[in-house]
């Protein structure tokens, strides 16, 4: 019976998926973004010649390198770089018999960003460099081939088709665009199990249970933010009360004058230990005790003095009333 593989061989193949492309032989992945895809297509079309598909990259080894096929066109379809291939009869035979199953593109890369700039050639191989690369003839039929070559369609209401939703799901799971349905199902289950483990739920937790746990975690996070904000306000108020108390004690001890209060508050807020050390070493510049209380009680007399006169009275331990009387006597003598 005739093998259907040759009929299933696609004309268009996805050479390079968009996004993060992991490699088997290098730890650093490739980054394929829209700019890279545009550059790959532009470089191909600027050359104006078909690109060779050989066997095992023999074209790069200076050996006889018969072609397995020719890349006739490249397209950026959003999900990656697609190539229209014209296969040789020998390559079709190899692929039909599964003697070759994969391909490996040779790319010119930006040395800093590792973004592809140009496609140099492609080799048929059984040891591809790209991880999770699907075989060229795996589960292709005529309908799927036509669907791959056709542009994406949307429903009349603008919503995505099932195919588009599956493509989005593959991208979300980090799978290649040509990943089989089984790989998608396995990826979804693995994602749910990992999420359940993070949320400390049973491995068999249902999607609704996982969703409720995520909502509860989000609510807890919001409450934590509110508690942190309240704690910040309490700390700020406590710091203000502490600085006020320290400055008031310095005033009562006569270590600073009332005119220095604002300065002292700022000093304490910026360097509490430094302020305390200053107060401990500072001499008493304002008299305290009975005479200070006399100044406070004699508010009317104090109000008749200029600020510098009030400071002079305090430094001489002299009440404002006695100072005014002495000032009056001196004025009458003159």
Residues 90-113 pLDDT 10s: 999 988 888 898 898 999 988 888
Indicate if 305 and 255 belong to the same structural domain. Answer: no
Q: Are residues 21 and 137 in the same domain?
A: yes
Residue 80 shares a structural domain with residue 118: yes
pLDDT at 42 over 90: yes
How big is the CA angle at 272 (ends 269 and 277), to the nearest 5 degrees? 140
Task: Evaluate whether residue 254 is within a structural domain.
Answer: yes
The answer to whether residue 180 is domain-embedded is no
Residue predicted with more confidence, 154 or 47 = 47
Quote the pLDDT of residue 173: 80
Is there a single domain that holds both residue 276 and residue 299?
Answer: no
User: How high is the pLDDT of residue 288?
Assistant: 55
- Has residue 160 been placed in a domain? no
Single out the residue in 108, 132, 151 at which a domain terminates.
Answer: 151
pLDDT at 212 over 50: yes
Which of 151, 184, 199 marks a domain boundary? 151
Based on the domain organization, do 265 and 303 belong to the same domain?
Answer: no
pTM to 2 decimals? 0.42
The answer to whether residue 318 sits within a structural domain is yes
Residue 142 pLDDT grade (very low, low, confident, very high; cuts 50, 70, 90): very low
Length of the chain: 334
Lowest mean pLDDT among 143-157, 159-173, 285-299: 143-157
Q: Residue 162's pLDDT is what?
A: 59
Q: What are the pLDDT digits (tens) for 15-37?
A: 899 888 888 877 788 889 999 99
User: Do 60 and 87 fall within a single domain?
Assistant: yes
- Is residue 52 domain-resident? yes
Q: Is residue 92 part of a domain?
A: yes
In this structure, the answer to whether residues 147 and 216 fall within a common structural domain is no
Answer yes or no: do 9 and 121 share one domain: yes
pLDDT of 140 strictly over 60: no
User: What average pLDDT does the chain have?
Assistant: 78
Write out the residue range of the structural domain in which residue 90 sits: 5-151
Whether the per-residue pLDDT at 46 is higher than 90: the answer is yes
The percentage of residues in the chain with a pLDDT greater than 90, rounded to a whole number, is: 15
225 within 8 A of 231, measured Cβ to Cβ: no
Of 151, 166, 182, which residue constitutes the final position of a domain? 151
Residue 193 lies inside a defined structural domain of this protein: no
Q: For 220-224, what is the mean pLDDT?
A: 82
Parallel, antiparallel, or unpaired: how do β-strands 51-55 and 30-32 relate?
Answer: unpaired
Q: Are residues 220 and 315 in the same domain?
A: no
Q: How far is CA 85 from the centre of its chain?
A: 39
Could you tell me if 270 and 322 lie in one domain? no
The per-residue pLDDT for range 241-256, each reduced to its tens digit, is: 888 998 998 888 888 8
pLDDT over 90 at 7, yes or no: no
- Please check the confidence at residue 229 and state whether its pLDDT lies above 70: yes
Cα-based distances in Å from 52 to 60, 89, 249, 262: 11, 15, 89, 82
Token code pair at residue 298? 């004699």
Give the range with max mean pLDDT: 9-13, 29-33, 192-196, 319-323. 29-33
pLDDT tens digit sequence for 263-322: 888 888 889 888 889 888 888 776 654 444 444 445 555 557 777 777 777 767 777 788
Q: Could you tell me if 122 and 243 lie in one domain?
A: no
- Among the ranges given (133-142, 175-184, 214-223, 266-275), the one the predictor scored with the smallest mean pLDDT: 133-142
Q: What is the rounded CA–CA span in Å between residue 325 and residue 91?
A: 121
How many domains does the chain divide into? 3
Answer whether residue 207 is part of any domain: no
pLDDT at 10: 77
Distance CA 40, CA 129 (A): 19
Question: Tokens at residue 130, please?
Answer: 């790209």
Q: Does residue 147 share a domain with residue 10? A: yes
Rounded Cα–Cα distance for residues 114 and 31 (Å): 6
The model's confidence at residue 45, banded by pLDDT at 50, 70 and 90, is very high
**CA nearest 15: which of 66, 65, 73?**
73
pLDDT (0 to 100) of residue 318: 74
């Amino acid at each position: 019976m005739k093998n259907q593989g040759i009929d299933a061989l696609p004309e268009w193949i996805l050479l390079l998926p968009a996004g993060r492309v992991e490699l088997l032989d290098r730890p650093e992945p490739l980054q394929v973004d829209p700019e890279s895809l545009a550059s790959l297509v532009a470089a191909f079309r600027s050359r104006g010649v078909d690109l060779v598909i050989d066997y095992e990259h023999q074209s790069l080894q200076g050996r006889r390198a018969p072609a397995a096929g020719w890349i006739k066109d490249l397209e950026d379809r959003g999900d990656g770089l697609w190539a229209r291939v014209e296969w040789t009869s020998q390559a079709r035979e190899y692929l039909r018999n599964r003697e070759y199953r994969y391909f490996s593109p040779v790319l010119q890369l930006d040395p800093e960003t590792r973004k592809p700039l140009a496609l140099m050639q492609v080799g048929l191989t059984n040891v591809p460099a790209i991880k999770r690369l699907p075989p060229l003839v795996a589960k292709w039929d005529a309908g799927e081939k036509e669907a791959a070559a056709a542009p994406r369609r949307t429903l009349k209401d603008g919503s995505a088709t099932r195919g588009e939703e599956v493509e989005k799901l593959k991208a979300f799971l980090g799978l290649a665009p040509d990943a089989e349905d089984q790989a998608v199902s396995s990826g979804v289950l693995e994602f749910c199990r990992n999420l359940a483990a993070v949320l400390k739920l049973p491995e068999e937790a249902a999607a609704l249970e996982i969703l409720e746990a995520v909502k509860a975690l989000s609510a807890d996070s919001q409450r934590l933010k509110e508690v942190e904000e309240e704690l910040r306000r309490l700390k700020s108020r406590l710091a203000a009360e502490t600085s006020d108390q320290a400055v008031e004690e310095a005033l009562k001890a006569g270590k600073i004058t009332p005119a220095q209060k604002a300065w002292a508050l700022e000093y304490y807020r910026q360097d509490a230990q430094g302020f305390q050390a200053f107060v401990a070493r500072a001499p008493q510049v304002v008299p305290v005790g009975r005479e200070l209380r006399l100044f406070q009680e004699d508010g009317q007399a104090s109000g008749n003095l200029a600020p510098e006169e009030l400071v002079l009275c305090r430094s001489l331990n002299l009440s404002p009333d006695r100072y005014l009387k002495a000032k009056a006597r001196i004025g009458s003598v003159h």
